[in-house]
Amino acid sequence: MSSRTWLHDMNPALKFILVIVSMLTLAWFFNPWTPFLVFVGVILIQLSFSRINWKVWSLFMIPIGFSALGYLWTTVLFAADTSGNVIWVWRGIEVTDQQWHTALSLAFRVFAFSSLSLLFALTTNPVKFVMSLMQQLRLSPKLAYGVMVGYQFLPVVKEEFIQIRHAHRLRGIGQEKYAWQRLLSMRRILIPLLASAVRRAERSAFAMEARGLTGERRSIYYEPLHIGGRDWLLAIILIFVLIASSVAGFLLS
């Protein structure tokens, strides 16, 4: 069971690179099998090495499933390339095997890409990710801590958004009958929200600088992040899934 925490403990920068590399590789394959096998492989990896909440995963997959279906039927019906053998005719619409092939490939590609993104998103702590980008990929501390401050701001900004909306409710704004009117009145919330965000950003920048952040690279970390043997093992597994799917896809089509 302990292997179920591996993906969560994996070095975020390495995981990030692997996901990016997998996506770029997938972009070169136009057969339906490779993306399908990657999709299945990623799910198997998550099943064995992570403790993600599958309910959340399924919720994310619902809209993705719809867009995949959308790709499927639009490609089947409206594809520019109509070569190949006709395999199916319905009310004058002819579907060729070539079209069907491309459509399936596109739909599975959507699934493969999103399952890779979810593999990363659902097992990675954003704070650790930024720290790892700074330590492993030499992201500038100026940028890294800028992102960190922004991340800490999110709940504060949300709270302020609620406060402003409450105050506006008193003046009869945000209660309009139609959705488009309410949408227009949002700009009235955005101005005070942005104004205070700018003020707050300046104060934060001053506080960081007064505490000695000069933007130069740091030499010692309090919580150093390393890439260990287990990280490489997971990397090898993912690369194996990728290569196996590519080869299988090539052979099967």
Partner 1 sequence: MDNASTISVSSPVVDFKEVTFQFLEDNSPVFTNISFSIHAGERVVLYGPSGCGKSTLLYLMNRLYPANCDGELSGSVALFHKDASSYAAGEINRRIATVFQDPETQFCMPTVEQEMAFTLENLHINREEMEQRITTTLDLTGLSAFRHSVIQTLSGGMKQRLATACALLIEPQVLLLDEPLAHLDPLTAHQYVEWLNALQLSSDFTVVVVEHRLDLWGSFFNRALHVKNSGVFSIEANPTRSPIQFPSRTSTVQDVVALEAQNISVNIDGNRLLSNISLSLRKGEIAVLAGPNGSGKSTLLKTICGILKKTDGQFKSGRTIPGYVPQSPEHLFVTNDVGQEISFSNHANADEISDIMHSLRLLEIQDAHPFAISHGQKRRVAIGAMIADQRPVLLLDEPTSGQDSEVLIELFHLIDSMAKEGFTVLIVTHDMAFAAAIADTVFLLNNGELTGRYENEQLWQQTELLKTHHLLPPIGAASYV
Distance CA 12, CA 21 (A): 14
Given the complex with partner 1, which of 25 and 196 has the nearer CB atom? 196
Residue among 96, 64, 65 nearest 79 (CA): 96
Site map 71..110 versus partner 1, x via CB under 8 A: ----------------------------------------
Candidates 62, 90, 93, 155; binder of partner 1 (CB under 8 A) is 155
Alpha-helix residue ranges (DSSP H) falling in 29-53: 33-49
Q: Does 163 bind partner 1 (CB under 8 A)?
A: yes
Token pair of 232, please? 């490489």
Q: Tell me the closest approach of the beta carbon of residue 199 to partner 1, in angstroms.
A: 9
Neighbours of 89 (CB within 10 A): 9
The Cα-based distances of 133 to 13, 18, 172, 235 in angstroms read: 6, 14, 46, 17
Site map 209..238 versus partner 1, x via CB under 8 A: xxxxxx-x-xxxxxx---------------
29 CB-side CA count, 13 A: 33
Q: In the block, which residue shows the tokens 């070569």?
A: 83
Candidates 28, 90, 93, 172; binder of partner 1 (CB under 8 A) is 172
Candidates 138, 142, 158, 166; binder of partner 1 (CB under 8 A) is 166
Given the complex with partner 1, which of 44 and 191 has the nearer CB atom? 191
Q: Strands, DSSP E only, in 56-208? A: 86-90, 93-96
Interacting residues toward partner 1 by CB under 8 A? 127, 145, 148-149, 152, 155-156, 163-164, 166-173, 188, 191-192, 195-196, 200, 203-214, 216, 218-223
